Amino acid sequence: MNTTKHNPEAELGVIGTLIAEGTHESYKVQSAMLKLREEFFYKTVHKELFKHIKNCYDNKHWFDFSTMMDVVRKQNDLADYLEISIKSAYFTGNRLDHEIEELERLWELRGQLNILSNTFNDCIKEPLTSNACELLFDGIQRIGAIKVQSMSYGSSYDVIYDNWLQGKYKGNEQVDSGIAQIGKLRNSSLIAIAGGSGVGKTFFSIYMMNQIAAQQPEKQSLFFSLEMAENEIWERHVAIVSDKPFDDLTKNDRHNAAAIIISRETKVYDQPRIDIEYIETICHLEALRKPIAVIVVDYLGLVTSKGKFDREDLRLSDITQRLTALSMKLKCIVIALSQVNRDPAKRTKDDRCPYPSDVADSIGSVRSSSLWIGIDRPELYDADQSMKNVFVAKCRKSRREAFPDAWFSFNNGRFKERSAPSYTPKKKESMMDAMRGKHSSFNNTIEGDF
């Protein structure tokens, strides 16, 4: 496998610009040195020249052309290269930032290709299938772990304005949710959804994913299921698209719905124990292949982490922060589900949609999310017929505009938008009403007296 992806022109441009500037006092040089690393350079001559420039820079010495010729005079190959390639060329530095980004990207790619090649060879040599699978899984994780810890030196408003004119922020704009009551959602954000067991969290997340993906057909969606098998997620998606319970669908109905959801390209990962590092790796690799519209994590409490934390809330806070960072980097919406572990039944029937306080260690998801939504199905505890098949989603936190309560008819996974039910809680029966119902003589007496 060819792992020599590099750009010699970009490498020469960076080295030439640094020498043209020639001093550690240059703002361009200082900015470049915050990002550049020796490994970025593939050609040995460029790597050696950068080492000499970096040494001069660290010691606050000049590194202009004359100085560099003195530094490398005993290294004939470097001196010849400076004389032939650097002396006669003209470097303005206008493309310096772009060239550094190119070197960084190619360095990451070389590392990923190298790991991929070694992983492939190790898997071929491994006689046991189980061990080969473990090697492959470990290789995939290491590919996604290659990151450059470079320091950002900020952007002035004129740079931001130029970037905006060039369309570099495209993808950060709001996206249509496909749900009239919800309207537009902030892209590059985390949406937290919390509900009790059996309420329909997974159904609702698939419904939202389907509606959002339908507005962005050029993108794909990823679903990380830590409780349900991939076929269960698929069946729920088919039921939502068909607007019928899956078991009531004919074979033809299922084929038609499958064609629709296949066209929107969704991938399901149904491993019972998935760590946040694995989610990050898969999402980054998939984003290289095709832009992502929605990522669903079902659910947060079951996501593990390779990090070590003294408390559970710190672990969950780190996971939600990383999911938010993922949404920003990939310019997509991340939907993360949480299980309610406290009993909202202690509140009145018209206020049983979960609050953050109903979810253990929810402070991380509240801080990191743009929207925090509690979902509920009143029919699970309310026999009133007006509550039958009612599903409600209430916003408990929004970073932007007010998010209205959203009401749906919900029957075996089918969602239909509807208005809020006209529900009036029954008043407690008074002592007078009780006596009227039990004693007809009392009724006669009261009516006779008045």
405-450 per-position pLDDT tens digit: 899 998 877 889 998 887 544 444 444 444 444 444 434 433 443 3
- Residue-wise pLDDT for 111-163, tens only, equals 888 888 888 899 999 898 888 888 887 787 777 666 544 445 567 787 777 77
Give the model's pLDDT for residue 440: 44
* Range from 147-151, 194-198, 363-367, 379-383 that averages highest in pLDDT: 194-198
pLDDT of residue 228: 92
391, pLDDT greater than 80: yes
264/219 Cα distance (integer angstroms): 7
Average pLDDT, the chain: 84
Q: What pLDDT sits at residue 92? A: 79
CA–CA separation, 369 and 306 (whole Å): 22
Decide: 320 and 369 in contact? Cβ < 8 Å: yes
- In DSSP terms, which residues pair with 359 in a beta bridge? none
Average pLDDT over residues 81-105: 87
Say which CATH architecture domain 1-147 belongs to. Answer: Orthogonal Bundle (1.10)
- Return the CATH number of 175-418, one of 3.40.190.10, 1.10.1380.10, 3.40.50.300, 3.40.50.720: 3.40.50.300
pLDDT at residue 449 in the model: 39
Which residues share a beta bridge with 439? none
pLDDT confidence bin for 22, thresholds 50/70/90: very high
The stretch 194-210 carries a mean pLDDT of 92
Q: Single out the residue of 175, 194, 195 nearest to residue 185, CA to CA.
A: 175
pLDDT of amino acid 164: 78
> Which residues 6+ apart lie within 8 Å of 430 measured at CB?
none
Kindly list the domain boundaries of the chain, sorted by start residue: 1-147, 175-418
More confident residue, 278 or 165: 278
